[in-house]
A and B are shown apart, each in its own frame.
Chain A
Amino acid sequence: MIRFRNVQVAGETEAGTRPILTVPDLALSEDRISVIGANGSGKSTLLKLINGLALPDTGTVDVDGLDTTAQGAAVRRRVAFVFTDPLSQLVMPTPLEDVELSLRRQYRNRTERRSAALDLLRDFGLEPLAGQSIYQLSGGERQLAALASVLAVNPSVLVLDEPSTLLDLRNTMLLRRRLASLPQQLITATHDLDLAQDSVRTLVVDNGQVVYDGEPAAAVSFYRELAAHVAGSS
């Protein structure tokens, strides 16, 4: 269970500080939640608050009772983050080494670690590419490799920031199917309104506030109207 209380995040600009995100009270317990909203509305900021990649300037965010500011390391062991660009996520030269890096804490023994890593990669259909340079993988393969590395640390919550933005239609569908089968709680920010509806609850963020919170189909039509309204009035 993720809980926001009186949260404010401010950004520095030349003109002084301005609020980037304000969330008075929010509890996230559903196992599939999506976040939609315009560019710059504050989606990424909202997601980063959940695992302490960003910290609130006022208020608190906690995960299972652990405060992201005071107990950041413990929170990050529970909440893993998937970036839009898998190249930002993969730190080792090959998928195999990257997954092994994630598994270091669980497996001290190198042989066991390697076989666990290969098992996981096989699960993702990536075993044949285990030793390839990450630069030689396709965007879809890379995103799957990044997902495998992140899942290897056994998180209970997965936060995904536009995971399908760099993918084509086929890879997006593969990713959606893969995500649907995960046991973790998933919180996904996306501009892909189909992906957004792979959820039970959708938040619409606009101008630093959660302006709609409810059933996905209704949230998507709310967002469409909002966008049409903004486009019409400018």
Chain B
Amino acid sequence: MRGHAHLISAYVAGSSWLHRTPLLLKFLLLAGTGVVVLALPGLLPRALVLAAVVVIHLAARLPAVRLLQPIRSMWLFLLVVLAYRWWADSAAGAAGVVAGLLACIYAANLLTATTEVQRLLDGLVAAVTPLRRFGADPERFALTIGLMLRSIPFLLGSLHDVRDAARARGLGASPRAVVQPVLIGAVAYARQTGDALAARGLGEKAAD
């Protein structure tokens, strides 16, 4: 479950225009992508959104390999989705679903690749602070979201590892051989992260 170095260091140091774009706009871009993908089913609009996100990615001079990474780690999943939608719906519908998924992943990638974690956390804290009088704890909220974002590349990486391990034992691509270890890995990861934070007294309620 280790050694997802290239996946975990999600932030790409740089000073591109996208790096300098205010966090709020990047958030809106991500949210907007999600909304459009959900609101407009069908291949054409989703393919357009996907194309737009890819153009932004390349225009910000982010490494093109980062576009391949999610596909490399998720191809099996994407393939299953594609096959299922094709069977249940149509080829175009299936392609639309996959295009929508990729558009959302790439849009999230744009945010994490060009925003340092600390900046992201500060942005989240600022966004949640007005809710403080309703009992929200902004620091805790930010930490949770921040760690969730961190865990996505980890989980993609572990999917990759587990598939290799299953293959090495001749288990092929049996969903059970893949899903179970990934789930166990995810639980272990969450637990380890929890312990790591507890070891520093972080992420707990402000007053106790």
Q: A177 near B: Cβ within 8 Å?
A: no
Which residues of chain B are within 8 angstroms of A152 by Cβ–Cβ distance?
200
| Cβ A52 vs Cβ B200 within 8 A | no
| Cβ A51 vs Cβ B198 within 8 A | yes
| Cβ B9 vs Cβ A74 within 8 A | no
What number of residue pairs across chains A and B have CB atoms under 8 A from each other? 89
Query: Other CB < 8 Å A-B pairs besides A79-B201, A89-B199, 12 of them?
Result: A52-B198, A73-B205, A73-B208, A76-B201, A81-B199, A88-B192, A93-B11, A110-B122, A113-B118, A135-B3, A136-B5, A153-B200
| Cβ B208 vs Cβ A133 within 8 A | no
Which residues of chain B are within 8 angstroms of A101 by Cβ–Cβ distance?
117-118, 202
- A-B CB contact pairs (8 Å), 18 listed: A76-B204, A80-B201, A83-B196, A83-B199, A89-B196, A90-B196, A91-B150, A93-B11, A94-B9, A97-B116, A97-B117, A97-B118, A100-B118, A102-B200, A104-B139, A110-B119, A135-B3, A153-B201
Q: B97 near A: Cβ within 8 Å?
A: no
| Cβ A80 vs Cβ B200 within 8 A | yes
Interface size of B as a range: 20 to 34
Return the contact of B117 from the options A51, A92, A113 (Cβ within 8 A).
Answer: A92
| Cβ A51 vs Cβ B199 within 8 A | yes
Complex CA gap A152/B200 in Å reads: 9
Number of interface residues of A (CB under 8 A): 41
| Cβ B208 vs Cβ A88 within 8 A | no
Complex CA gap A87/B5 in Å reads: 12
Q: B197 near A: Cβ within 8 Å?
A: yes
Chain A nearest CB: distance from B9 CB in Å? 4
Which residues of chain B are within 8 angstroms of A114 by Cβ–Cβ distance?
118
Which residues of chain B are within 8 angstroms of A92 by Cβ–Cβ distance?
117, 150
Given A53-B198, A80-B199, A91-B196, A73 and B13 contact (CB-CB distance below 8 Å): no
